[in-house]
Structure 1
């Protein structure tokens, strides 16, 4: 039986011997661990470097844009009235802003309906067209009827009339339309309502009618006297003792009126006249609305005169009283009340309509159609159809809360989605198949500011109205741009405020300090990772690493070189704005020198940091650049300008073009290859007769009203040229710009465009610096591989050939940001270096595992050898013991 525990039989410490031998054999393992730890330390260091460089790049990203250095600050004195923002193109200064009116949308409301789901009308197919436009002329308000007969003698008692819940001050002296208007206008600031008196006109039959006079020959032969006055002006008189026909007759009255003295006296009283007494058409009028009293003053026995022929005339007095109209200042409804509104010519209630106005559709605004039939002829169905149409009008149903038998609480409310006077609605209805529109739908929805207004205006479309330094400006929205170049003003409330636009030197200083701080933090990290500490005689984990050295050298090289490609500036290096190196390699900023540069070269500082492009041609604008774009001056040559897709009519439009009922055209706009379904839609054109301008407006707004087009940003313009021909044009430029029309039903497109055909747009083409460039619409981009790689310019104007030169420069922040990008990311140098180090660690691990496997074999061999030696010695010791015993026994014997 063998020995189970090595060394017991022989006394040799086999385990200790093998352990010490294996300690010698495994010594190389420490080298593996040392190498692996070194590599892992470098991986960790590169991780720190990547984080620091990422932070540096993040700090630079906000400094690569010109706007970071050319910001202007706009400060209103009253921030409740306006807010504002200024671009780098704005001029500094102080401006006085007065906001007189805030833009709003038009809102229309219907009468009440009992149910939102009950059928309206009989379900006849009716097409309802919504157009947006502008109302001009006329006014919005109420037209009053003739004032009460008693007004000229008794006036209008106090409390008789209220407007928008304000009592109008009337009394016994309020005896004419003019005086009533004066009383109303005295409260207009409170009520928002003004009054216009109508011209007072005497009765058309007062002096006769139908060519026959009823003014009898005046006879004072009986001893009486006679005089006739108009508005207190004596027109004619007859003394006693004059027989009929020998004195005042209708013809004599006309002669008196023709006399200069009478004419002057009437004019002084603001009274004019038309017609003649001889043919019974004589009428007097007063334009200011004052009453006109026509009085016959008689004494004694007199015959003849007004309505008198041979009978006794005892005198007469007739007073003509005018009427007034009410005008809402902001187009909102007017509420009329009081104890006797009828005395003022009005009925109690709330209302208003456009009076004497005209409507012009706005071609830039969308229009659209909905079809109502037996499937959706309810308030709810109409609401859903309008909202689904997405053509600039939203619908809602509002309940006024009325209840009980006969209550009609539900009102359809329509609101334009845009503000501004051009968002006023016109709603027209047309039947189908030669049938008229459903009368019930017409009664509900027909609305024309120049005609029938079956809906009530609850709020008028309005522009923002303001003055800037005394110059009147308007805007369809609450934003006012263009009044001050480079400044956008947001109107918040009616009121006044000053606006100061100044250089934002604080932001610029912050940006420059941010650049210095970001560099110094990165420099500190680089020094820590790759530097050597003489005191501790230790180096950083990346001491001598080529990747770190290349990064540090690249940054310093870029910061030490001057900026090239800048046009029209004297700033080409950082020292000119106070940035310089210190002995420890960090940057320092001289704020006094920076402020001096801000004061003298504010707009040029951006070129030291950001990517800047400037051309000699003002119609060539810098859009963007790429990481491979090189700084320099490049000649620009344009061989083809971008164009728009166009459908040009060949037919000179007549004075009027008739569009038949059920006319629809299929429109394809800015389609692609292969075709995209959403780029094609069918539009319905309302039946009617249109002049060329109206037809262009109808077509443009109908196409732009297609929601799929609007969502894609695709729009068209329709114009009528001097030759009377209609042109339809996509607003997009380039090879992706196109417009095609096909008749679907009704009036054929040829009735409008003749034999005109569509021409697709083309992209701009040319070279930048003599290098190939790719056009896309009006954008021209330098081709890859060239110095202009990624340089993107927007080319407008109408000239081809040489378009001057374009200078492009890359500021320090832009260059360093691009440099950092080459080290970061999946393909960056740091990632590549880290990957290599990790792979080295993996290789060392494999080598270590293989070496450990060999050590196991070596240990097994050592144990086998020393176990065998142990066994042999134990056997020999056993033999020696036996022999010793035998020899001892022999010796005794």
Structure 2
């Protein structure tokens, strides 16, 4: 039987011997673990460094922007009236602003309907055309009738009239249209409604009719007397004892009204005018301010003749002419007329209002188009959805007024222009397809023309913002006003006055510069902790002596110590604004020096931090740069200017052009090869007779009304050129700009443009600094491999050849941001270094694995050897025992 445990046969402690031998053999593993731990510590440290550099880079993002250093503050004295936002182009100063009107969109509403899903009309195919424009001239309001008959004697009783729920102060003395208008205007600030009295005019047949005189010769032979007054002015008098024909006659009245006479002067002073002749019965008197005109015959005793009297006795007469008023909404909204007796004021109770005497001018810059309504969508809901889908600048909704009952009609179609401004007034026409008449029910629902039929009711008018800035009147189609103050955008919030103070935003500059210094110092401190040496503790950071962190620190200091190359201005280095290095490598800021730089060179500070491009040609502007763009001053030479695609008619447009019904063209705009469907639209032209200018406006609106064009920002401008020819121009510049018109139905393209063919646009071409640049529209971009790689400029103007130069510089924040990017990211230097360290850890792990495998073999060998020794010694022990026994036996015998 063999030995089962090492050392039993020999009494040797084999396991202890092998354990100690293996401890010696495995000593290199500790060295490997120590090295791996060191590498992992560096990996962790580089993670910390990466985070610090990332934080530093994040702080540089805002500092790399021009706006961080060139911003100006704008403070309003009343933020409820207006606010302002200033750019670097603004000039410091205080501006007085008065907002008299704030822009709003037009809102139209239909009459009520029982349901929103019931069919409207017969269901035939009808075309709704919606166009946007301006309503000008005329008024929006209500026209009244002549004041009630009892007004002349009793006036208008208190409470008889209210406007927009405000009672108008009338009483027994309110006996004329003028006095009523004055009473209404006294409440205009509250009601938003003004009144105008119509001119008062005496009856056309007062002195006669149908051309025949009815003013008889006045006869006072019977002892009476006669006097004729108009508005209190005496026209004629006749004493007693004058025979008919010898005194007041129609001819004598006309004579008194001819030329510069005492009578005509008195009438003029009383604001009275006249026309016609008493001799032929056409004499009429008028008062423009709406005051009543009383024509009075004062008679005493026996008198014959006079007004409507030929030889008969005249007992005197009084005929008073009274006029009417009209109401005008100051903001174009509906007027609510109420009160106990509005009829006395010539008005009808209720809510109403419409344009009167206005004209409509279509805005060619706004899209317009046609919507087909048939038996698939001839309900309020269907019309709403069709309008919203068309995207013609109008939003449709259905509103319920909450009325109930069997006869209630609560549902109203409400249309609101998508944009504010006076040019957002709608014109809506309804026509039948194929020249057929429009469905009357749809016309009654939707027809709206400020210059004509207005079936829809205007609830709010399209209006501009109106303001006065430092004494100059300005308007804007939105609540934002730009251009009135250079570099400042005003936001009008409500009517009122306020002042806007624009000043250099020194606080933002100070914050930005201090932020730069703080961000750098935080990174520098982190680098110090990771790679520095502490003499007191005689210990170094985990990255002490590492080339990567040393390279990072050296690059940062080198970039910040040199002057900015290519920078145009009075500031080129950090020391000029008070930033300098301290002995420990951190930055310090001299606030006094910074303040002086801000005061004297405010606009130059941005160049120290951001990437800046300044062109000597004000029609060439710096757009952007790339990481490879090198600082410098580069000459600009333009060989080709960018152009837009055009199509021009071959002959002048006639004075009148007829567009047939159902005219549809296929329009391609800025298409590519192969063609893209979104660049093609089917455009319907509104039928009608057009002047050249109106035709251009209609074409522009129709093409721009195509939803896919507007979604892509593609538009055209259509005008009549100096030769009277129609000209279409794409809004896009360059080789991607093109136009194609194809006739489908109705009036052909050739009927308007003849043989005129479209011309595609071309890209700008030229060089920057003598290096090739690629043109795309009006943009010229430097090509790879050159110092101008990625430098992008926008080229406008009309000059070819030398166009000056562009000075490009990269500020400290921009450079440091680029440098930080080279250290960060998957391919950055830190990631590369970390990857190498991780690989070293992996290599050590593999070495350990191989070494452990070898240790197993060594231990096995030791055990085998000691097992053999144990067996040998056990055998020798047995032999020794045998010999001892034998020798003992021999000795005994």
The TM-score with structure 2 as length reference comes to: 0.97
* CA shift for structure 1 position 284: 1.5
* CA shift for structure 1 position 241: 4.4
Q: Deviations over 1:766-805 (max 9, x none)?
A: 1110111111211111111111111111111111110001
Instruction: Give, in whole Å, the separation in 2 of the partners of 1:67 and 1:741.
Output: 45
Counterpart check, 1:50 vs 2:50: yes
Which structure 2 residues correspond to residues 318-717 of structure 1 after superposition, within 5 A?
318-567=319-568, 569-717=569-717
My pick for the range that moved more, 400-409 or 524-533, is 524-533
Instruction: Give, in whole Å, the separation in 2 of the partners of 1:436 and 1:173.
Output: 54
Instruction: Give, in whole Å, the separation in 1 of the partners of 2:74 and 2:273.
Output: 58
* CA shift for structure 1 position 215: 2.4
**Aligned residue in 2 for 1:862:** 862
* CA shift for structure 1 position 597: 1.0
* CA shift for structure 1 position 608: 0.9
Q: Deviations over 1:93-115 (max 9, x none)?
A: 22222222222111111111112
My pick for the range that moved more, 620-629 or 501-510, is 501-510
My pick for the range that moved more, 28-37 or 579-588, is 28-37
My pick for the range that moved more, 126-135 or 650-659, is 650-659
CA contact (8 A) 1:430 1:686 kept: no
* CA shift for structure 1 position 674: 2.1
* CA shift for structure 1 position 184: 1.4
* CA shift for structure 1 position 240: 4.3
Instruction: Give, in whole Å, the separation in 2 of the partners of 1:433 and 1:272.
Output: 54
Where does structure 2 lack aligned partners over 5 or more consecutive residues? none
CA contact (8 A) 1:105 1:462 kept: yes
* CA shift for structure 1 position 127: 0.9
Counterpart check, 1:876 vs 2:873: no
Instruction: Give, in whole Å, the separation in 2 of the partners of 1:119 and 1:475.
Output: 41
**Aligned residue in 1 for 2:134:** 134
Q: Deviations over 1:279-336 (max 9, x none)?
A: 2222221111111222223333333332223332222221111111111111111111
Q: Deviations over 1:174-218 (max 9, x none)?
A: 221112111211222222211111111111122223332222333
Describe the SS at the equivalent of 1:834: helix
* CA shift for structure 1 position 538: 2.8
**Aligned residue in 1 for 2:177:** 177
Describe the SS at the equivalent of 1:605: helix
My pick for the range that moved more, 50-59 or 271-280, is 271-280
CA contact (8 A) 1:393 1:415 kept: yes
Counterpart check, 1:765 vs 2:765: yes
Q: Deviations over 1:128-151 (max 9, x none)?
A: 111111111111111111122232
Instruction: Give, in whole Å, the separation in 1 of the partners of 2:249 and 2:99.
Output: 63
Where does structure 1 lack aligned partners over 5 or more consecutive residues? none
* CA shift for structure 1 position 580: 0.9
My pick for the range that moved more, 163-172 or 439-448, is 163-172
Counterpart check, 1:205 vs 2:215: no
The TM-score with structure 1 as length reference comes to: 0.97
Describe the SS at the equivalent of 2:850: helix
My pick for the range that moved more, 432-441 or 296-305, is 296-305
**Aligned residue in 2 for 1:774:** 774
My pick for the range that moved more, 33-42 or 334-343, is 33-42
Instruction: Give, in whole Å, the separation in 2 of the partners of 1:10 and 1:611.
Output: 87
Describe the SS at the equivalent of 2:37: helix
Describe the SS at the equivalent of 2:744: strand
Instruction: Give, in whole Å, the separation in 1 of the partners of 2:720 and 2:316.
Output: 67
Instruction: Give, in whole Å, the separation in 2 of the partners of 1:463 and 1:528.
Output: 63
Instruction: Give, in whole Å, the separation in 2 of the partners of 1:679 and 1:631.
Output: 40
Q: What is the RMSD computed on CA atoms of the aligned residues?
A: 1.7
* CA shift for structure 1 position 541: 2.4
Q: Deviations over 1:581-603 (max 9, x none)?
A: 11111111111111111111111
Describe the SS at the equivalent of 2:416: strand
Instruction: Give, in whole Å, the separation in 2 of the partners of 1:294 and 1:729.
Output: 66
* CA shift for structure 1 position 242: 4.4
**Aligned residue in 1 for 2:300:** 299
Instruction: Give, in whole Å, the separation in 2 of the partners of 1:10 and 1:607.
Output: 90
**Aligned residue in 1 for 2:63:** 63
User: For this pair of structures, how many residues does the alignment match?
Assistant: 892
Describe the SS at the equivalent of 1:394: strand
* CA shift for structure 1 position 243: 4.3
Describe the SS at the equivalent of 1:506: helix
Instruction: Give, in whole Å, the separation in 2 of the partners of 1:673 and 1:39.
Output: 57
* CA shift for structure 1 position 409: 1.4
* CA shift for structure 1 position 245: 4.3
Instruction: Give, in whole Å, the separation in 2 of the partners of 1:236 and 1:504.
Output: 79
* CA shift for structure 1 position 356: 1.1
* CA shift for structure 1 position 565: 0.6
CA contact (8 A) 1:656 1:690 kept: yes
Describe the SS at the equivalent of 2:839: helix
* CA shift for structure 1 position 577: 0.9
Describe the SS at the equivalent of 1:477: coil
**Aligned residue in 1 for 2:755:** 755
* CA shift for structure 1 position 79: 2.0
Instruction: Give, in whole Å, the separation in 2 of the partners of 1:220 and 1:89.
Output: 87
Instruction: Give, in whole Å, the separation in 2 of the partners of 1:340 and 1:540.
Output: 96
CA contact (8 A) 1:430 1:661 kept: no
Describe the SS at the equivalent of 1:359: strand
**Aligned residue in 2 for 1:74:** 74
* CA shift for structure 1 position 855: 1.7
Describe the SS at the equivalent of 1:319: strand
* CA shift for structure 1 position 809: 0.6
* CA shift for structure 1 position 229: 2.2
Instruction: Give, in whole Å, the separation in 2 of the partners of 1:390 and 1:253.
Output: 67
Instruction: Give, in whole Å, the separation in 2 of the partners of 1:127 and 1:734.
Output: 37
